[in-house]
Structure formats: structure tokens, C-alpha cells
């Protein structure tokens, strides 16, 4: 039985979700604060964690960092409101498996949990098979090329660099498909029958990064009970993909420089060098050139890795690909959810074209999957879209200056002030009401009036 930890300050929601998951044969512990979540996580071995983004004593991002530093292999799913999409995207950069939006749909969260556990098990099996000498290829990998000029340029660059052993930097916002391009390069290369190993550097703590990348010897530190191969050895002969490489500490960057220059590694606590043959592809949402100038990324390592660079555009800059991606994700969602939705309403596509997509391709995939889950007919209709897309935040928070409706301007300003105050108070209603100099009941009434979730 898989064990689930739920961290959410809404007791009613916690108990409802706990009951639902227990009915699906999960063991569940529910706690109502970040502090309680931290203690529970350290005291018990959970298979997966669900945490709210907004908690009274600490936000979900801080909790995510803590969980990942203690047990990086444990999947963490962030539960967030649509207004928090940009923050949820940041959580993905820091190692969250996925985010789900509130109000939570039970079937959606159940599917996300099962996908996270499945990926965790596949990763463990892959490591075991590679350690026994089997070569791993991604049999279900499928990259959707797109038809935009940007998409054609990316594929041209990938095809050009793939046959070589040149190191590649892939730069782009979170959710733009950096790992997909890295896999595409691998599968077009001479190493395609060798391992492709992806490492999320954002999920590695300073203490664990060296062991994860280079391995360790038994007894080299407190929890080193056996010898362990690092990801460089696991990827030997193939491709090592280091995602969000900018998160690595300066010390680990130095070891990485030596490994890429000399093609040798040394395990933590070891005394012998180990030869490796690995092609390096790295990715970052941060501009590493700027990171070098700020002093957070080693200049010598940057120049060693920057033999070839691919820029990944944001989804809002490749609108010609939105329909292609949408139909691809529709097909995938039908397979995952065992449904038969065959089309997307034209009005939905129109909304997609004007939305800014802060979460990029990943956000589009989630929106499509959720709509397929909710759909009762054979078409995704506009009523199935989240409020974030139907009424973009910029339109909710400010009224056009062209209006002469004084009441509308006042209401827009009031809504904006309440929203910002709730954010400052971490959605603690009592504290927010005090800051606004109104009583709690008045705050709730205004939140309902303006459609503010909290």
C-alpha cells in the first residue's frame, strides 16, 4: 500500500481528500501546517506528498525545498489556485513532480498521483537494469515537432548537432520542452542505443548532488551504507542530461568541470579515478551567461558546456503550434483517462491564442487533460476552461482606462487591494481582514462578490 502525506491548512478539504484516497487503497496521513508536515515527513517513509501552496506558517515552495533536500526521490505534488500558476511553474523548476489546480477534481489528482508513482518506479527499474548492463531507450517517447518557424529552427539545430559529441546548452522558460529536445538529440545521435539519463539538478541539495552525480563509497558519510554508482556511470556510453544546471553549487560545478574536461570521475570517499564516455546536454531557465556575470556560475564551466546553444521559445511566441500541441494532448488525455473526446471548440482555440501561457507547453497539457476529464460530450467547450484563461489576471485586476464608469473603477481597485492583501497574509483570512480594517464576515462577502478564491 502506497503511503501519502497531505499538507493543507483546510481541515475539511484534507479529510475529504484523505477519505477519497483511502477508498482507493492508499495509506494517508493528513496534517494542517508546514511544521507538522516537516515532522511527519522525517518520522515516516512516505511514497508521495501533496502540499498546498499557501500554508499559514510556510509556503509550499519552502516545504518543497525541504522535502527534496531530505529525500529527493519522493515525488511532491503542489496544489494551487489558478492565480498561482506562475508560482506553480517555479515549483516545477525546484523539483515538484506536477501541480494540480484548486478546486481539486478527485479523478485528476488520482491520475497525477498514479503517474508520479509510476515514474518513480520506472526510474528505480531503469537504474537497476542499467546497473546490470542493459541499455535503456525511451520506447514511448514522442516529440511533437510543430509547424511554426521557431519549431522548424529548433529541429534543424537538433538534427545538425545530434550526430556529433558536442556539448549542448538548451535555454528556455520552464515548460517549453527542454528535456524533449534533449531526448530528440539523443535519439538522433550515434548513442541512441545507449542510456539517456536525465537529472533534475533543481531537486538536488548541496549535500546530495555530489553523491547523485558521481557516486560514493560505503562509509564516506553518515547514510552511505553501501557503494553507489553516480549518474555519470549509469549514463556511460550514452547521454547525460542535466536539467536546471544553474542550481548546482560552486563546489559541484568544479567537479563537473573536471569530469567533462578529463572524462574521469571520482566517487565521494573514493581514491581512484573512473573513466567515463558521456555526452553532456544541459538545460536552464536562467541565462547562464548572466549567471556567470553575477558570479553564481563558473565561467570556465560555462565555456566548456557552451559548444552549441539552442534557445527554446515560450508558447506565446509560437502560436502557430498551439493547435497541433492541443490535439496531441487531447489524444494523450483520451488514452490516459479512457475517454473519447474528439474535438476542441473553435471558441476554445480562440481563447488559447490570446492567453499568455506562463506555464508554457506543460500548462497547455494540464488544461487539456483537465477539460477532457470534465467533458460530458465529445467536444472540449469553453465552459470547461479555467478562469485564468477565460478572464486573464490582467483583466481581472485592472479596469480599462477608457471606461468612464466610476463604480467599475472603484470595484476593480477594491478587488485588486483585497487580492494583494490576501497574498501578503498568506491567505490567512483573519490577518487579511485586520490589515484591511474590516471584519472577517465582510471580507468573505467581498471575496464572494469579486469571485476571489481562497
Per the CB < 8 A criterion, the answer to whether 414 and 44 are in contact is no
Predicted pLDDT at 228: 83
Q: DSSP code of 268?
A: B
Predicted pLDDT at 119: 83
Predicted pLDDT at 84: 65
Residues 211, 191, 147, CA angle at the centre, nearest 5°?
105
Here the cell at position 263 is: 572524462
Predicted pLDDT at 448: 67
- 158/399 Cα distance (integer angstroms): 45
**Mean per-residue pLDDT pooled into runs of 10, the chain (454 residues):** 93 91 95 93 94 85 85 88 69 81 85 89 65 43 76 93 96 90 94 91 78 86 78 93 91 93 91 93 92 92 96 92 94 90 94 90 91 92 88 48 51 78 80 83 74 67
Query: Domains, the chain, ranges and CATH?
Result: 3-122 (3.40.50.2300), 151-311 (3.40.50.300), 315-384 (1.10.8.60), 398-450 (1.10.10)
Predicted pLDDT at 143: 61
What are the residues facing 50 on neighbouring strands? 6, 77
Is 0.85 surpassed by the pTM of this model?
A: no
Alpha-carbon distance values, 332 to 140, 194, 317, 370, 389 (Å): 12, 27, 24, 12, 21
Helix, strand, coil distribution of the chain in percent, nearest 5: 50, 15, 35
Q: Which residues of 403-435 are buried (b: 16+ CB within 10 A; e: fewer)?
A: eeeeeeeeebeebeebbebbeebbbbeebbbee
Predicted pLDDT at 206: 72
Predicted pLDDT at 125: 66
Predicted pLDDT at 410: 62
- 108/229 Cα distance (integer angstroms): 36
Non-local (6+) Cβ contacts of 282 within 8 A are: 167, 168, 169, 170, 241, 242, 243, 245, 305
Strands 228-229 and 196-200: unpaired
| Residue linked to cell 565561467 | 299
Per the CB < 8 A criterion, the answer to whether 76 and 108 are in contact is no
Amino acid at each position: 500500500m502506497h503511503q501519502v502525506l497531505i499538507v493543507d491548512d483546510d481541515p475539511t478539504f484534507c479529510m475529504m481528500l484523505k477519505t477519497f484516497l483511502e477508498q482507493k487503497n492508499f495509506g494517508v496521513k493528513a496534517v494542517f501546517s508546514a511544521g507538522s508536515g516537516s515532522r511527519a515527513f522525517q518520522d515516516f517513509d512516505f511514497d508521495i506528498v501533496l502540499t498546498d501552496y499557501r500554508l499559514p506558517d510556510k509556503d509550499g515552495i519552502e516545504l518543497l525545498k525541504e522535502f527534496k533536500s531530505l529525500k529527493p526521490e519522493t515525488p511532491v505534488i503542489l496544489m494551487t489556485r489558478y492565480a498561482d500558476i506562475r508560482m506553480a511553474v517555479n515549483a516545477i523548476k525546484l523539483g515538484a513532480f506536477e501541480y494540480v489546480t484548486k478546486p481539486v477534481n478527485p479523478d485528476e489528482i488520482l491520475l497525477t498521483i498514479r503517474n508520479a508513482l509510476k515514474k518513480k518506479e520506472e526510474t528505480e527499474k531503469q537504474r537497476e537494469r542499467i546497473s546490470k548492463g542493459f541499455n535503456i531507450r525511451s520506447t514511448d517517447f514522442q516529440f511533437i515537432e510543430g509547424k511554426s518557424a521557431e519549431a522548424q529552427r529548433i529541429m534543424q539545430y537538433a538534427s545538425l548537432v545530434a550526430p556529433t559529441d558536442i556539448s549542448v546548452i538548451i535555454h528556455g522558460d520552464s515548460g517549453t520542452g527542454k528535456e524533449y529536445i534533449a531526448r530528440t538529440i539523443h535519439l538522433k545521435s550515434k548513442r541512441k542505443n545507449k542510456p539517456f539519463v536525465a537529472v533534475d539538478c533543481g531537486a538536488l541539495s548541496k549535500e546530495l548532488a555530489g553523491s547523485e552525480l558521481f557516486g560514493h563509497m560505503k562509509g564516506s558519510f553518515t547514510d552511505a551504507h553501501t557503494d553507489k554508482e553516480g549518474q555519470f556511470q549509469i549514463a556511460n556510453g550514452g547521454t547525460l542530461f542535466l536539467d536546471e544546471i544553474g542550481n548546482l553549487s560552486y563546489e559541484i560545478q568544479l567537479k563537473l568541470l573536471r569530469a567533462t574536461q578529463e572524462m574521469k570521475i571520482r566517487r565521494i570517499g573514493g581514491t581512484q579515478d573512473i573513466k567515463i564516455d558521456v555526452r553532456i546536454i544541459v538545460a536552464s531557465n536562467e541565462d547562464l551567461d548572466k549567471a556567470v556575470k553575477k558570479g553564481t556560475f563558473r565561467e570556465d564551466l560555462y565555456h566548456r558546456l557552451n559548444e552549441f546553444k539552442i534557445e527554446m521559445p515560450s508558447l506565446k511566441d509560437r502560436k502557430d503550434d498551439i493547435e497541433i500541441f492541443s490535439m496531441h494532448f487531447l489524444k494523450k488525455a483520451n488514452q490516459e483517462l479512457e475517454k473519447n473526446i474528439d474535438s476542441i471548440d473553435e471558441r476554445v482555440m480562440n481563447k488559447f491564442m490570446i492567453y499568455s501561457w506562463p506555464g508554457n507547453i506543460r500548462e497547455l497539457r494540464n488544461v487539456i487533460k483537465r477539460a477532457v476529464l470534465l467533458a460530458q460530450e465529445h467536444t472540449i467547450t469553453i465552459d470547461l476552461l479555467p478562469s485564468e484563461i477565460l478572464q486573464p489576471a490582467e483583466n481581472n485586476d485592472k479596469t480599462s482606462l477608457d471606461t468612464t464608469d466610476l463604480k467599475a473603477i472603484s470595484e476593480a481597485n477594491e478587488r485588486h487591494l483585497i487580492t494583494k492583501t490576501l497574498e501578503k497574509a498568506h491567505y490567512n483570512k483573519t490577518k487579511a481582514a485586520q490589515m484591511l480594517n474590516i471584519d472577517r464576515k465582510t471580507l468573505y462577502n467581498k471575496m464572494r462578490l469579486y469571485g476571489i478564491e481562497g
